Amino acid sequence: MQMQDVFQRYSDDLKRVEECMDFHLRSEIDLIPEIIQHLIGSGGKRFRPLLLLICSDLCGYRGQKCYTLSTVIEFIHTATLLHDDVIDKAETRRGKVSANNLWGNAASVLVGDFLYSKAFKLMADEDNLAVIKLMSASTNVMSEGEVFQLVKCGDIDITEADYLTIIEKKTSILMSAACASGAILGNATQKQIDALAGFGLRLGSAFQITDDTLDYTAKEEEFGKSIGKDLEEGKMTLPLIHTLKHCTPAEKDRIRKIIESKGADGNAIREIVTIINRYDGISTALNKAGTYIDKGKASLGIFADSEAKTALFTVTDFIMERRL
């Protein structure tokens, strides 16, 4: 099975998710759907809803509740993107001008708040206490991750453990919640719910690590954001953290000066990338992602073979192969 086969298998379900999202974006305040559609309609892969759909299928449920909870997951994810772009002073998102650049920071933050509150209203309407508890805990952890990343921004002494904590709280936890929500909808056993939650957590960490390596290696027109953007924003990611641990004092001092300048140009970014490559920062990070993938696959061992299980394995392979 290839990734396009996975999307094809769940294409009708994903269309229903889109319809559900469109319906619940309605507001008498025109600016709200205008800003949200600018972001949601700009080419997102609906990766988190897809995980929920597959995990629900794996546990024997394919119905309307999948579409509502997929909408919840995507609304929460989109809210974080709106808030992130304000914090990062981002100029682009998915190859388009960012919402904060078009409508300002205040509108972006408030519409992000709208999405969060809408997500929790939808969950309340569904009246599934297990899902509500899961998503409440997950979004709280995500907020902690945002603050921790802010604290560590520009800190060249950040440890790998700190970095892994940040990505688990910021990124992995929502993918974990998507997978576990699918299991809950399928009335899975607690052991199965925990297994899929663990799978999503490891998949999310691998996803973020590979995403962070793409900041150094991808083609800008494919990646949808400026290459070296993480460096410009002072975000310390695994390829750089590994390099800083192994490079010479002179190289570390040079990297420090570039990051502290908060205005790294193309030449400075290329200089840092050269140092990262010298100490195998990219390959080391990808090897770490591969370790997470292997552990994620292992956690699926309690499930019988099925097309849904094969789809999850395909998704894990895609994480390691992707260029977007």
Residues 258-294 have pLDDT tens digits of 888 766 677 888 888 899 999 999 999 999 999 999 9
User: Is pLDDT at 173 greater than 80 in this prediction?
Assistant: yes
Phi and psi at 265, nearest 5°, equal: -90, 180
Confidence of residue 192 (pLDDT cuts 50, 70, 90): very high
The span from the CA of 292 to the CA of 38, in Å, is 33
- What is the pLDDT at residue 43? 64
> What domains can be seen in the chain, in order of their start residue?
3-321 (1.10.600.10)
Give yes or no for a contact between 241 and 159, defined as CB atoms under 8 angstroms apart.
yes
Tokens of 140: 């709280």
- What is the pLDDT at residue 147? 95
- What is the pLDDT at residue 227? 62
Nearest Cα to 58, choosing from 178, 205, 174, 171?
A: 178
User: Is pLDDT at 160 greater than 90 in this prediction?
Assistant: yes
Please report, rounded to a whole number, the percentage of residues in the chain having pLDDT higher than 90. 72
- What is the pLDDT at residue 324? 44
Radius of gyration of the chain (CA): 20
Which of 21-30, 86-95, 189-198, 310-319 is least confident?
A: 86-95
Q: In the chain, which ranges are E strands?
A: 92-93, 96-97
User: Is pLDDT at 222 greater than 60 in this prediction?
Assistant: no
Which of 63-77, 172-186, 252-266, 305-319 is least confident?
A: 252-266
> What's the chain's length in residues?
324
Residues 114-143: tens digit of each pLDDT: 999 999 999 999 999 999 999 999 999 999
User: Is pLDDT at 219 greater than 60 in this prediction?
Assistant: no
- What is the pLDDT at residue 62? 86
- What is the pLDDT at residue 223? 45
The span from the CA of 8 to the CA of 129, in Å, is 32
User: Is pLDDT at 315 greater than 50 in this prediction?
Assistant: yes
Mean of all residue pLDDT scores within the chain: 90
Residues 59-116: tens digit of each pLDDT: 999 889 999 999 999 999 999 999 988 888 878 787 788 889 889 999 999 999 999 9
Q: Which amino acid is at 109?
A: V
Supply the pTM of this predicted model.
0.91
Mean per-residue pLDDT for 213-242?
A: 74
- What is the pLDDT at residue 317? 93
For residue 11, count other CB atoms closer than 10 A to its CB.
Answer: 10
List 97's β-bridge partners, or say none: 92
